[in-house]
Each structure stands twice: as C-alpha cells, then as structure tokens.
Amino acid sequence: MTRQKIGLALLISILVTAPILALNFLGYQLFGWPFIPYELFNWVARELPGPVVTFGIDLMIDTLRLLNLNVVDVAKTAERGMAVMQLGGAIIVAGAVLSLLLARWGRKQPALVGLLIGLLVGLPVLGAIISVSNRDPYPVANIAIILGLTLAWGLLISWSYQRAMRPEEQLAMPAPETTAPEVTAPAASATTLNRRQFLVTLGAASAVITVAGSGVAASLASAERRRQEAQLAAALAAGGGSATTTGGGVPFPNANDPLIPAPGTRLEYTPLADHYQVFLSTEPSIIEEEDWQLTITGLIDNPMQLTLQELKDNYEKVGQFVTLTCISGRVGTGLISTTHWGGLRVSDLLADLGVQPEAKYMHIRSADGFYETVDLELVASEPRLLLAYEWDGIPIPKDHGFPLRIWIPDRYGMKQPKWITDIEITDEYIPGYWVERNWDEVAQVRTTSVIDTVAASTPLEERGQTLLPVGGIAYAGARGISKVEVRVDGGEWQPAQLRQPLSETTWVIWRFDWPFSAGQHLFEVRTAEADGTPQIEETMRNRPSGATGIHSYEASL
C-alpha cells in the first residue's frame, strides 16, 4: 500500500464526508434530523471514564480563558465545533481505511463495497446513538435517516475511490505487442491529468454542497435564535416588569438601598437572555408542555402522574430570588447568574405521596439522561427547596429546563436536574451523574468574591481627593455575606460597602471607592460568610468540590 494511495483515500473521504455532514446539518435545522457528530459526541461524553470527561472540560475552559474568550458565551459553540471536528475526523479516517482495505473487491463490485463501508460505520454509530437516547423506542425515522446517510456516504466513497484509481489500473495493464515506438510518458501524463480532473471536479462539487448546506443551516440556526430571543422578550414585556420589579412584577426588596454599584459591575438581576447555560448534551432538550408529565413512583402509597397545569393548580406557588452557579467555573467565573424562581415546595408534593417509613431518597431523572439523588432529610430540613416552573415571572425557557427543574439551596448546579421527567422515592442511595464521574457528592457552594470593574472612566472627587469606584460580587450560597475587603498592591485589607442582597440566597453587590494613584496596580478581594467564616484563600482547582482562591484584577491607570 503506497503513501500515494493512502493520501488519495484520505482526500476522497474528506471530499465525501464534508458535504454529507453539511446536508445532515441542514436536515437537522430544517426537519429535526439527528446530527450524527452531536449524537456521537453525547455518546462519547457518557461512556468515557469520568476523569477523562473532566479533563476534556477543564482543557476546553482553560483554552478559552487563555484565548481571553468568554466561557459563558462560547463554551457550547466550542463544544459543538469539537464534536464536528473530532467525530467528523474519525468518520473520515474510517472511510479512508475501509476504502483501502476493500479496494480489491471494490474494482468489481463498487456498489456492494460501498454498502458494506456504510454498514460497517453506520451500524456502530446507530448503536452508540440509541444506547444513550432516552427515547424508547428510538424513532424508526431517525434510524432510517442515520443509516441512509451512512450508506450514501459509503457508496460515494467507494465509487469515488475506484473512479480515481481507474486510470492507474488502466496504465498498469500490459501493452499489446507492437513495433511502434513506446509512448509510456505521454500515457502517464494523460492518466495523471484524468485523475486530477476528477479530483478537481469532486472537490468543486464537495465545496459547493458543503458551503451551501452549512451556510443555509447556519442561517436557519441564527434565525431560530433570534425568534427565541424575540419570543422571550415579548413574554417578559407582557409580564409587566420595571426597574424596581422582576419580569413577573415581584418588587426588588432592595430597590431603596442607597448604595449604587460601581459602574461596570454586572447587573444585580440577570436578564434571562444572559443567564448562563450548562447542559449535558451538545444541544438542550426541548420539551413541549402537551407531551410532558411528571411520573412519581417508588416507596409511596400514592403514585402520581401530573401535568404542569396540575402542579400549578394543586400546589401553592412560592417564589425566591436565587443565585445559581456552576461547579466547573474558575475563580472569577461568569458561570453564575441571579433571577427569581417560582414553583412549588418539594415538601408539599411529598406530603401528598404517602411516603413510606423506609424511604430515604428522591431519585430524579431528566429528559437529557441526567440523574441525581436528593436526601429526604434535606427536603424535610429545607422548606425553600423548590420544583420550579417559572423564571422571572414566565415559564422557564425551554433551553434552561422547561417544564420543570429543581432548586436546592446552597448547592452547585451539578446537583440540580432540569427537564425533570421522573421522580422515584427509594431507600437506596444512587450516586448522581457527576458524582459517578468523581465530582463532590455534596457539592456545597464554595464562598467566593469577584472584582468586576475598576471604573477608571468615572472618577469621583471627594474632599479634594480623586476616588475610583471598584466593584463586584460576593456569594456564599445560602450562608450569607458579612463583609468584603479589598487590598491594592499587597497593602492592608480595607472594608468595602455592601448593598442589601435580593435575598439570603443571592450574591451581594459590593463597592470600594479607592484613592486614585497613577500606575499599574493589582486589586484583590476577599469575603466572609454571615457567621464570619472566611472564604478559602488557598488556590484550588474546580475539581472535585469547586474552585477557591483570591480573585485579582490588574489595571493600568
């Protein structure tokens, strides 16, 4: 097997795979087809050992930070790009290897070999996708689409490889006996030109289909995002929010607090369009209300199946201002947001189930394959624990967990399933999805403080002295904040001013007016919980229990 044949097989596999994936992506956007790279990426993420998955997450976040990219904005885009490149690349290599191994048979029966290539790749791909799907049975239409695409791909690879090799085979045939002068060199030149023309034609067709298909698909995806944003904005506008209330009209309890955040500090109340997103798969699970019900089984006297409307009608609605954060964030993370949650108390629901004495846990399952276990003792001791169906006065956005997600105070988001479909009351502890992958079993929020801004463009003059506002947030889960301190260039720690929080379970906005001096300066911040417990100043990575350390901010003034 020559290096030339290997290179040719790889080139043809690339030229065939790219347009097939582009058409697959177009079908995904137009008709909801399964997009094979995304589906395979979901399988890889679930089947790889926990440390490997965590290493991949850490590597991606570290790379984004190194490139000075916003993790909140681009992490999912980067993940989707990785899915296409890595798994698309694996398919390309598989196509090249199989076309080389089966080349001998392909000369006589290229169609049969093409179907064989398609099946050798398509059947394992289909098996992997079905194994992590929560759809039972898996839709026949999706099976047909996946096999149809892989069979078409195999046929095109086999035909293209044999077509490209044909001139070489003809050239290698014994020449008839003749007394005429040899013309070997011109024949070789014609052969090379013939193959080159074919590859140029194949490359041009591949480029046109790939660019057109992926371009139209990207435009459709962008249009869908704009539609969803407009829909969200309209829903919020209908809710009647204002500068002093949530979108649902709930007053901000600290609206009259005199402390004004330093210019450049993040918004105290996060707009829903800006609320951070983390979900298990490459794409969020989209559930329609009419197709959903909550199934509750296990060690209970009264098993239930409840629609969303029944949850709203049968149980008192309660609300809570909540800050939620992700355990995978580093010190200073943007994976933290605050909004108003609405729903029913978990304890109210349990009271109607007739929970049996031996029951100890709630095992919660979600539409995206996520699962988590909640101790019933925690439910009994924490009346704020909610099954939420509203954010900011409107139904939870579909890409954030609609129709139902849980909120557990003082815990990272990794413990809080969304798109909930099933609850089982059990006497057996079942480790949650991320706990099985070596993250913290409790996942209690680590206390943190962050500098958002040194507002050099908005100085203050006070008693003949120039002051620069410095500001940010401090957060300790449900444990409250008692103080925030700032130091500059390694000097003394000085107290910052604190704004009243929206609730005991939200972040606190702080402000420190610093006496200005020109030059390069290093600002640092630390905080303490309501009972005086200081945040951990030692720098530790996010795995397994959440990042700790002092956040710093350099400014040239």
Q: What is the CATH number of the domain that holds 297?
A: 3.90.420.10
Q: In this structure, are 9 and 147 located in the same domain?
A: yes
Q: In this structure, are 156 and 192 located in the same domain?
A: yes
Q: In this structure, are 359 and 277 located in the same domain?
A: yes
pLDDT band of 185, cuts 50, 70, 90: very low
Question: Half-sphere exposure of residue 542, counting CA atoms within 13 Å on the CB side?
Answer: 19
Residue that finishes a domain, picked among 368, 392, 426: 426
Question: How confident is the model at residue 167, as a pLDDT?
Answer: 54
Q: In this structure, are 142 and 291 located in the same domain?
A: no
Dig out the tokens for 410 from the structure: 């003082």
Mean per-residue pLDDT, 249-277: 94
Q: In this structure, are 92 and 158 located in the same domain?
A: yes
Q: In this structure, are 58 and 138 located in the same domain?
A: yes
Question: How confident is the model at residue 241, as a pLDDT?
Answer: 62
Question: How confident is the model at residue 171, as a pLDDT?
Answer: 41
Q: In this structure, are 405 and 467 located in the same domain?
A: no
Closest CA to 304 of 137, 425, 406: 425
Q: In this structure, are 350 and 394 located in the same domain?
A: yes
Question: What is the DSSP secondary-structure string of 449-518?
Answer: EEEEEE-TTS-EEETTEEEEEEEEEEE-TTS-EEEEEEEETT---EEPEEPPPSSTTS-EEEEEEEEP-S
The answer to whether position 256 is within a domain reads no
Sheet of 361-366, strand order: 304-306, 294-298, 420-426, 361-366, 371-375
The answer to whether position 125 is within a domain reads yes
Residue 542 to residue 513: CA distance in whole angstroms = 31
Burial code of 38-73, b = ≥16 C-beta within 10 A, e = fewer?
bbbbbbbbbeeebeebbeebeebbeebeeeeeebbe
Give me the amino acid identity at 354: G
Q: What are 501-555's pLDDT values in tens digits? A: 999 999 999 999 999 999 999 999 999 999 999 999 999 999 899 999 999 999 9
Question: How confident is the model at residue 315, as a pLDDT?
Answer: 98
**Count of domains observed in the chain:** 3
Q: In this structure, are 460 and 418 located in the same domain?
A: no
pLDDT band of 301, cuts 50, 70, 90: very high
Taking the model in full, what pTM does it have?
A: 0.85
The answer to whether position 198 is within a domain reads yes
pLDDT of 365 > 80? The answer is: yes
- Give me the domain span that covers residue 302: 272-426
pLDDT band of 287, cuts 50, 70, 90: very high
Among all chains, which residue has been given the structure tokens 């690879």?
157
Q: Which of 19-33, 214-228, 392-406 has the lowest mean pLDDT?
A: 214-228
Residues constituting the chain: 557
Q: Name the pairing type of β-strands 371-375 and 361-366.
A: antiparallel
Q: In this structure, are 135 and 41 located in the same domain?
A: yes
**Higher-confidence residue: 41 or 471?**
471
pLDDT of 191 > 70? The answer is: no
Question: How confident is the model at residue 174, as a pLDDT?
Answer: 47
The answer to whether position 178 is within a domain reads no
The answer to whether position 234 is within a domain reads no
Q: What are 60-115's pLDDT values in tens digits? A: 777 877 777 777 767 778 788 888 888 788 888 988 888 888 777 767 788 888 89
The answer to whether position 67 is within a domain reads yes
Q: In this structure, are 59 and 120 located in the same domain?
A: yes
Q: In this structure, are 211 and 102 located in the same domain?
A: yes
The answer to whether position 432 is within a domain reads no
pLDDT band of 210, cuts 50, 70, 90: very high
Q: Is the separation of the CB atoms in 476 and 445 below 8 Å?
A: yes
The answer to whether position 285 is within a domain reads yes
Among all chains, which residue has been given the structure tokens 């607090």?
257
